[in-house]
Amino acid sequence: MENLLKVTIDGKSIEVPPGTTILQAARQLGGNYPPAMCYYSSLKDTGGKCRVCLVKVAQTSETNPRPMPKLVASCLTRVEQGMVVENQSSPEVLEARNGVVEFLLINHPLDCPVCDQAGECDLQNLSYEHGTEGTRYEEQRREFNKIDIGPYVQLHMTRCILCYRCVYAAEQLTDSRVHGVLNRGDVSEISTYIQNAIDKDFSGNIIDVCPVGALTDKTYRFKQRVWFSKPFNAHRSCAKCSGQTIAWMKGDAIIRITARKNAFGEVEDFICNECRFEHKQLSDWTIEGPRDMGEDSVISANKYELPVISPAVNVDAKFVSE
């Protein structure tokens, strides 16, 4: 292989091609890679904004053994030959990350009990690991009115963390972007130009890339807590997209269709709006079998291979202890 670069992250080394970022290298190493709330590997120009992926570069390179003066965004910083990185092993990184999570939460409504995203929310997961029980924030929280952005998607701006993923997704996946970021600072908001409906094909993917519950599926609103539904790999033949989806079932009914996500929470293959919103009949789909959501997911806590009879039977020890 042509000149690979060796990088050491929390004591573990890996060789990667030039151009690889610290975050990508860390993901290849597995284990405790830095979290990412704004970076999305399949969307160009994402990253650098949320700052939860900050890491410490203890040695810049073989030839430049000095540390980098500040913590750097691992999603954008490229690996150099002989770079040494501290992620979870650095108290400084953990303190900074806890700080960022606190910042993300101070104006968040914490309305998980009524939020469709709960159970598959990156912010919720992040706060389990890096948040505190209480809050030091006593001021009034920021609130926005809900904005109606068409037949399929509900924008609940109060929950948005301004990761810009949906903006890049719309820019790169649909034929024209009709929403963006308006205003500045902590009153910035995701909005459509003069309440334009987001009904471009492929626009439904903004729901999947949103790390929180700011963009939710109107055809699924309040239908079910995700952990009480059962995800199945499903496909249909589609002229517009791969047709490879997850069908979320409740009994024999399909209550939601989403794209399939990988271990890093990123969509494997973006799907079209027709597959996502218009085919909710079991007969529309070929069901391949249960979808493995990974051990850590609260969704896996529910043994969905078994028929749901009563919660007591299905709730395993892990779920109870959490």
Q: Which residues bind other proteins (CB under 8 A)?
A: 47-52, 54, 70-71, 73, 76, 95-96, 99-100, 102-104, 106-107, 136-137, 139-140, 161-162, 164, 181, 183-188
102 binds, among other proteins, ligand FES, ligand SF4, none (CB under 5 to 8 A by kind): other proteins
Distance of CA 249 to the CA centre of its chain: 22
Pick from ligand FES, ligand SF4, other proteins, none: which does 36 bind, CB < 5 to 8 A by kind?
A: ligand FES
Burial classification of residue 169, based on how many CB atoms lie within 10 Å of its CB (0-12 exposed, 13-18 middle, 19 or more buried): buried
Q: Minimum distance between the CB of residue 137 and ligand FES, rounded to whole angstroms? A: 21
Type of residue numbered 153? V
Nearer residue to ligand SF4 within complex by CB, 16 or 190: 190
Burial of 1 (0-12, 13-18, 19+ CB in 10 A): exposed
Please give the DSSP secondary-structure letter assigned to residue 79: P
Q: Which is nearer to ligand SF4, 46 or 87 (CB)?
A: 46
Identity of the residue, 105 or 173, whose beta carbon is nearer to other proteins in the bound complex: 105
By CB under 6 A, which span of 78-86, 158-166, 243-251, 267-275 interacts with ligand SF4? Answer: 158-166
Q: Residue 114 CB, nearest distance to ligand SF4 (Å)?
A: 17
CA gap 192, 101 in Å, rounded: 27
CB of 312 to other proteins, least distance (A): 40
Question: What is the side-by-side strand order in the sheet with 253-258?
Answer: 253-258, 244-250, 230-235, 286-290
39 binds, among other proteins, ligand SF4, ligand FES, none (CB under 5 to 8 A by kind): ligand FES
51 touches ligand FES (CB under 6 A): yes
**Nearer CB in complex with ligand SF4: 123/241:** 123
Residue 28: exposure state from Cβ atoms within 10 A (0-12, 13-18, ≥19):
middle
State which of residues 126, 162, 173, 241 lies at the interface with ligand SF4 (CB under 6 A): 162
Q: Which range binds ligand SF4 by CB under 6 A, 12-20, 125-133, 210-218, 264-272?
A: 210-218
Whether residue 47 contacts residue 78, with contact meaning beta carbons closer than 8 Å, is answered with no
For residue 297 the two structure tokens come to 């997911």
Q: For residues 232-251, which are near ligand SF4 according to CB under 6 A?
A: none
Residue closer to ligand FES (CB basis): 128 or 193: 128
Selection from 194, 181, 195, 190 nearest residue 150 by Cα: 195
User: Is 95 or 201 the residue whose CB approaches other proteins more closely?
Assistant: 95
Whole-number Å distance between alpha carbons of 220 and 256: 6
From 86, 84, 85, 80, select the one nearest 5 (Cα to Cα).
Answer: 80
d(Cα 33, Cα 263) in Å, to the nearest integer?
11
Interface contacts to ligand FES, rule CB under 6 A: 36-39, 47-53, 73, 75
Interface contacts to ligand SF4, rule CB under 6 A: 160-166, 190, 209-212, 214-215
